Amino acid sequence: MSPSKDQHIVAALSQVTTATLTTLLLKKGLRNVWMRGARPLKPGLPRLVGPAFTLRFVPAREDLATPESWSSPVSTRTAIEAMPAGCIAVVDAMGVTDAGIFGDILCARMKKRGIAALVTDGVMRDVAGVRATGLPVWCQGAAAPPSVAGLTFVNWGEPIGCGGVAVFPDDWVVVDDDGAVLIPAALIDEMVSTAPEQERLEGWIMSEVEKGASLPGLYPPNAENKARYEKSKN
């Protein structure tokens, strides 16, 4: 996609909660787009939006998953150098929670290269150092052991599973306090065009609740309330 188109997507979806996006995707037939286990490492981060850059691990094998493997031409180090600025790195760690995929040094490099965020169904290590780098991270938590204690890195740019969700290299990802949501490439335009209006409607409903309105007929709105909402927009 062109940079300006990407910027338009980022600007539009930064205003939409992942809760609203999952409702809209469900209406399109997609119930399984939220990555289990990917929670914000720090509270209060702003919402972030970007195209997915995928990385894939398989289980550790003592002959392959070694500190020496970190110098291999296909390693997490070379993967990081291949990431475009603005992307969201999505890492398939098979939900492993006793080996940290990345520590402070790798996160510092990602931050330097302009990566928007890191999302994984695994965990981080040296988590105090990772927080200090300022890289926004969504993960299951922290574990001291290195990735090679439980994982073997195999490739980047492939289809992966992350938290029970299929992620393909040209899909989009939105992250906020509710976690990480996948938007298939084929649906990104529709989300950009419909989601902001849905947010506006929910804002109006919330203001009605604050005035004391009861929920049946209001949320979702019946014909009368839909008309009142439309009128309110003028």
Does position 82 interact with its own copies (CB under 8 A)? The reply is no
- Cβ neighbourhood burial of 221 (10 Å; 0-12, 13-18, 19+): middle
Does position 101 interact with its own copies (CB under 8 A)? The reply is no
Does position 198 interact with its own copies (CB under 8 A)? The reply is no
Inter-residue contact 133 to 126 (CB < 8 Å) = no
Query: Binding its own copies by CB under 8 A: which of 169, 178, 198, 229?
Result: 178
Phi/psi at 39 (5° precision): -110, 150
Does position 186 interact with its own copies (CB under 8 A)? The reply is yes
Cα–Cα distance for residue pair 36/188, rounded to 1 Å: 21
Does position 94 interact with its own copies (CB under 8 A)? The reply is yes
Q: Which is nearer to its own copies, 98 or 230 (CB)?
A: 98
Binding mask 44-63 for its own copies (x = CB under 8 A): --------------xxxxxx
Cα–Cα distance for residue pair 216/157, rounded to 1 Å: 47
Q: How far is the CB of 117 from its own copies (least distance, A)?
A: 15
Helix, strand, coil shares of the chain as percentages rounded to 5? 35, 25, 40
Inter-residue contact 17 to 200 (CB < 8 Å) = no
Query: Binding its own copies by CB under 8 A: which of 12, 86, 149, 196?
Result: 149
Query: Binding its own copies by CB under 8 A: which of 71, 189, 190, 224?
Result: 71
Does position 194 interact with its own copies (CB under 8 A)? The reply is no
